[in-house]
Amino acid sequence: MIKTVKLTYASLNCRNVRKMVDYYENVIGLTVVESTNGDTFYLSTGLEHHNLVLTSSENSELSTIGFHVSADENLVEIQKNLKAQGIQSELKHDFQPGVHELLELEDPDGYKVHLLQKIDMPAPGFKKNSICPQKLGHIALGSLNPELATEFYMKVLNFKHTDRIGERAIFLTCNSDHHVLNISKFGHKMMHHIAFELKDSSHHTLSADFLSQNGKALSWGPFRHTAGHNLASYHHDPELNVIELFTDMDQFIADLNYFDPRPWHAELPMRPKVWENNCTWYDNFEKNITDYVLDKVQLTK
C-alpha cells in the first residue's frame, strides 16, 4: 500500500493569474520561486520549491494535488501496483520545476494527483510583511461521489478516516494532522476551500487585521470547529476561492485511535466520531440577535 505522508502542493487554474499571484505573494505571503512562460508561477510557503502553482487558464479551478510519499517507496513499483488494481498512471520526469520525478494519476472526480518523493528545497524563508502562514495545511473537496472518492484516498493512498459531520463531510488524514483532505457532497465537483496553517491565535488576530487593511473581509469566523477543533476563519481570494486560515488543529494518534488531549475537548480521550455540526463557538447570529431584542423588549415592559 502506498505510504502517503504529506500534502505538498496544490495547482490552481486562474482567469487572471497576475492578480492571483499578487494576492498570494503580497497578502498571503508566499514567495514566487520560479515562473515559466509568464503564465505559470510556483510559490513557496518557506522551504520547498513550491506549495502552490498558479496557471493562466480560461477556467478558475483546482487542477492538481501533490503528495509526498515515503522515502522508502519506489515510484516504479507504485505504478506497477496501481496497474494491478486497474488504475492508470504516468511516470513523468522534469514535468515541472523543482520536481524531477513524479507519478501522475486521477482521483474519481478527475482531479490530477501527483505522487513524489523529492522536491527541491531552495528555502526562500518566511516573510515578515504579510500573513505568512507556516504551511499549506489541507484541501476541502466537493465530490460527485464522496463514497467513491473516500474509498480511493483510503484504499489507494492509505489515508485514514478521522471524523464526519453528519452525512455532509468526511475528514481524512495521511499524517498526524486531523485532516489533510475533507470530502463533501455538494452535487458537483469543486474545491470548497484551501487552508493555510498559522502560528497561533495571536497570528490569527494579526492576519485578520492585515486582511482588513488590504480590503479583504472575513466571510466566516474566527471560531473553533468541532471536527479538528481548529481555530478558523475564511475569506475569498480574487477569484472567489475560499481560503481558510487556521491554527490549533487536533493531532491524531492513529495507533491509539484518539486525538492528543486538549483542554477544550468535551470528551477524554477524543476519538473519531460523527458531529452534528462543524462549529463550537458559532451559532445562528441573526436568529439569536432577533431573539435577544425581543427578550429585552419584554424585560422593559
pLDDT digits (tens, 9 = 90+) for 275-295: 998 888 765 544 554 555 555
Residue 28 has pLDDT above 50, yes or no: yes
Give the rounded distance of the alpha carbon of 150 from its chain centre: 16
**Confidence band of 264 (pLDDT split at 50, 70, 90):** very high
Burial 276-287 (b: 16+ CB within 10 A, else e): eebbeebeeeee
Given 116, 144, 174, the domain boundary residue is: 116
- The reply to whether 32 and 145 lie within a common domain is no
233 within 8 A of 225, measured Cβ to Cβ: no
- The reply to whether 181 and 103 lie within a common domain is no
- The reply to whether 60 and 142 lie within a common domain is no
Rounded CA-CA distance 6/158 in Å is 12
The C-alpha cell of 21 is what? 499571484
**10, 189, 1, 3: which is closest to 114 by C-alpha?**
10
Query: What stretch of H or E contains 289?
Result: helix 285-300
Structural domain contains residue 187? yes
Q: Which one-letter amino acid corresponds to residue 248?
A: D
Structural domain contains residue 262? yes
- The reply to whether 75 and 104 lie within a common domain is yes
What is the SS3 assignment for 172? Answer: strand
Whole-model pTM: value is: 0.93
Structural domain contains residue 147? yes
Dihedral over Cα of 92, 2, 173, 152: its sign = positive
Structural domain contains residue 269? yes
* Beta-carbon count within 10 A of 99 CB: 23
**69, 63, 55: which is closest to 102 by C-alpha?**
69
- The reply to whether 260 and 155 lie within a common domain is yes
Residue in the block written with cell 468535551:
266
Structural domain contains residue 61? yes
**Confidence band of 265 (pLDDT split at 50, 70, 90):** very high
204 within 8 A of 198, measured Cβ to Cβ: yes
96: CATH: 3.10.180.10
Rg of the chain, C-alpha, whole Å: 20
Rounded CA-CA distance 250/14 in Å is 32
What are 194-226's pLDDT values in tens digits? 999 999 999 999 999 999 999 999 988 899 999
- The reply to whether 42 and 178 lie within a common domain is no
Structural domain contains residue 82? yes
Taking the chain, what is the end-to-end CA distance rounded to the nearest angstrom? 69
- The reply to whether 44 and 96 lie within a common domain is yes
- The reply to whether 102 and 233 lie within a common domain is no
Structural domain contains residue 223? yes
**281, 179, 290: which is closest to 227 by C-alpha?**
179
Number of domains in the chain: 2
**249, 118, 238: which is closest to 182 by C-alpha?**
249
67 within 8 A of 7, measured Cβ to Cβ: yes
Residue 164 has pLDDT above 90, yes or no: yes
**Confidence band of 299 (pLDDT split at 50, 70, 90):** very low
What is the SS3 assignment for 42? Answer: strand
- The reply to whether 41 and 77 lie within a common domain is yes
The C-alpha cell of 2 is what? 502506498
In total, the chain counts a number of residues equal to 301
Structural domain contains residue 45? yes
pLDDT at 289: 47
Given 85, 116, 147, the domain boundary residue is: 116
Instruction: Provide φ and ψ at 284, rounded to 5°.
Output: -75, 95
What is the percent of the chain with per-residue pLDDT over 70, rounded to a whole number? 93
Contacting residues for 119 by C-beta, under 8 A, at least 6 apart:
8, 48, 49, 50, 68, 98, 99
- The reply to whether 17 and 151 lie within a common domain is no
- The reply to whether 157 and 100 lie within a common domain is no
**What is the span of the domain harbouring residue 184?**
135-285
Given 116, 147, 175, the domain boundary residue is: 116
- The reply to whether 155 and 48 lie within a common domain is no
